[in-house]
Amino acid sequence: MNPLLQKFDTAPFSKIKNSHFKNAIETCIKSAKEEINSITSDNETPTYKNTIEALEYSGMQLKRVTSIFFNLNSAETNDEIQKIAQEISPLLSDFGNDIRLNKVLFEKTKTIYQQKDSLNLSQEQITLLDNQYKMFVRNGANLNKSDKEKLREIDKKASKLSLKFGENILAETNSFELHITDKKQLKGLPEGELEAAMQTAKQKEKTGWLFTLDYPSYVPFMTYIEDRSLREQMSKAFGARAFKNNKYDNQQTVLDIVKLRHERANLLGYKTHSHFVLEERMAENPKKVLSFLNDLLKKAKPAAAREYEQLSTFAKKDGIDILQKWDSGFYSEKLKKELFDLDEEQLKPYFKLENVLNGVFTVANKLYELNFEEIDTIDTYHKDVKTYKVTNNDGDFIAYFYADFFPRKGKRNGAWMTSFKSQWKKDNGNSRPHISIVCNFTKPTETKPSLLTFNEVTTLFHEFGHALHGMLANTTYPSLSGTSVHWDFVELPSQILENWCYEKEALDLFAKHYKTNDPIPMELVQKIKDSSNFLEGMTTLRQLSFGLLDMNWHGGESPQAITSVKEFEKNAFADTKLYPDVAENCMSTAFSHIFQGGYSSGYYSYKWAEVLDADAFEYFKESGIFDKEIARKFKDNVLSKGGTENPMTLYKRFRGKEPNADALLKRAGLLK
């Protein structure tokens, strides 16, 4: 019996075998097709209920099963799961196109769309109708038969290429190890990091110390190792992932994905992939995005150039003539220590993972009256995953929350929020969501708990901000729930929560020494605040370079003419370049956000949302960071509303006005 085809509430991980997935997905596609057929064969006059709502609630079991599968493919994959992913992606792509290219379904939707002004619909109903109508039009409903077939082929190829891109990066990340047996080579590396590297070696049955390209291993190595040649070796290995002309090389994959996206956009009547994507974003078009990025670039570049010069001069004391990329983390940390008398190692004892997690729970309670109770009554896909029942102060069930914190072989790098089940309302019931965050934090060792860097602390708050957006969702329709919002609005809830990490009032709740339980000293809090803008110009320039690279890949009118991924990337980086180029390295071949993660023509949204979050946090600070009334406004107008209305309308209802970019520039220290 296939557990995925039974009725279940939380995902039945312990009962699922890999062999269940394909059968379950094929069966669910068949059922979903029957649901679509019953809509199209209904001879009654099309109504909002029998067409728009019926389509919205169709295929619910398929959505549940695929969300479980693709979450596992990111967090706990193996060869078998990757093989299944390649087999089912074309099936899902075909099924999606069966709906989007269904003439009868489109005509019924169009009939209702043309009557929408006379139907007395709520705002959420109007948004759903608009979305469904655009879903058809933007995916080929008006194409002729042969162009529809072309579109199907493009979508099938693109979904497989995207999977292949991610598999190659994971394989490349897993295949590299730096094995050190002479402790003298590891001068500068803190005791906790040495112990973690020794533990990694032990797990692989090796002596000495083992370093990998997983962030908790890679970042401290690049920050503290004094041996410059070892930093260079590690940096080049990281930068060369999927750029080695071997079987895991992503160069052709990148070119193929970009060409297919462009071809698809042209087929649908759009100039470029960026024009297609941005039509459904707050930014609206590529011109606006480029103007936004270039305006920030103009303001950040002089500061970045000064900072680079400052860092280069500082490194010259050690005889470094030309500052290279592998010097960046090392000398930044040394300079920060000199300027602010602060280094990460001073902070880490105050950021024990369990304390930080309880801290973010307390912040959520003070702002939104949420309570988190750890439970062991629901299944998980790995023993490291923790599960929580979330309730409000009245005891009502709000959500289940999963947290998966440590790196392992089957998990991709980075941090993300996801869900195993959306929220929706139907038949007077409110079906609550199952939300998950996945990170790659420093593991506990035999003598120390997991102690986070400050960067990991802000990452946890960031992903938890996304999780709140999912947990507090309160909409009727699943496709408008939680984080289903315009892509350049989705980072607001995550980025605003990071601000609490810099406030004494919040730090006092959780930043306690893991041995003595003493609160973090006020002077350390002040140093965190003082150093928060340290090298901000360079950091901003780096983010802008990624956004511009993304727009170059997807906003150009002739990607067919691109022959060299590396040369194209160098040209795209020209205006943001600080460090000398490294010939053996390439960013694009490992740029998962845009080639695997849905951020194509959307990477600018991190900066876009920073404008929103800086402006919104300014509002909190006016009345106090735990002000109940402002928190209620943010919850009622942003966190609970999902994609039910235009994001700017929601933002203005919360804030009372449009955002002002000066708040971001002021916070970043870039406003003179």
Closest Cα partner for 476 from 637, 263, 274, 643? 643
Cα–Cα distance measured from residue 500 to residue 502, given in angstroms and rounded to the nearest whole number: 5
Cα–Cα distance measured from residue 539 to residue 545, given in angstroms and rounded to the nearest whole number: 10
Alpha-carbon distances of 493 from 277, 417, 442, 489, rounded to whole Å: 22, 12, 25, 8
Task: Extract the tokens encoding 480.
Answer: 């408008």
211 contacts 218 by C-beta, under 8 angstroms? yes
DSSP state string for 375-434: E-SS--SSTT-EEEEEEETT--EEEEEEEE-S--TTS-SS-EEEEEE--EEETTEEEPPE
Q: Where are the beta strands (DSSP E) in 587-648?
A: none
Alpha-carbon distances of 414 from 173, 201, 214, 397, rounded to whole Å: 12, 22, 9, 30
Backbone angles phi, psi at 58, to 5 degrees: -80, 155
Tell me which of 193, 263, 463, 569 is the catalytic residue: 463
Distance of CA 367 to the CA centre of its chain: 23
Cα–Cα distance measured from residue 614 to residue 607, given in angstroms and rounded to the nearest whole number: 10
Cα–Cα distance measured from residue 434 to residue 64, given in angstroms and rounded to the nearest whole number: 11
Distance of CA 72 to the CA centre of its chain: 16
Alpha-carbon distances of 357 from 13, 25, 361, 425, rounded to whole Å: 24, 35, 6, 30
Amino acid sitting at position 604: Y
How far the first Cα of the chain sits from its last, in Å, is 67
404 contacts 439 by C-beta, under 8 angstroms? yes
Q: Where are the beta strands (DSSP E) in 242-396?
A: 370-375, 386-392
Please report where in the chains the tokens 């970043």 appear, as a residue: 668
Cα–Cα distance measured from residue 422 to residue 477, given in angstroms and rounded to the nearest whole number: 9
Residue 559's contacts (CB-CB under 8 Å, 6 or more residues apart) are 255, 258, 259, 262, 553
Beta bridge partners of residue 392, listed in sequence order: 370
Task: Extract the tokens encoding 568.
Answer: 């194209």
H/E run at residue 180: strand 178-180
Other CB atoms within 10 Å distance of the CB of residue 584: 11
Beta bridge partners of residue 431, listed in sequence order: 424
What is the torsional sign of CA 130, 131, 132, 138? positive
Longest dimension (CA), the chain: 82
Cα–Cα distance measured from residue 621 to residue 627, given in angstroms and rounded to the nearest whole number: 9
576 contacts 545 by C-beta, under 8 angstroms? yes
Backbone angles phi, psi at 434, to 5 degrees: -120, 110
Residue 523 falls in the annotated catalytic set: no
How many residues does the structure list for the chain? 672
Which residues are known catalytic residues?
463
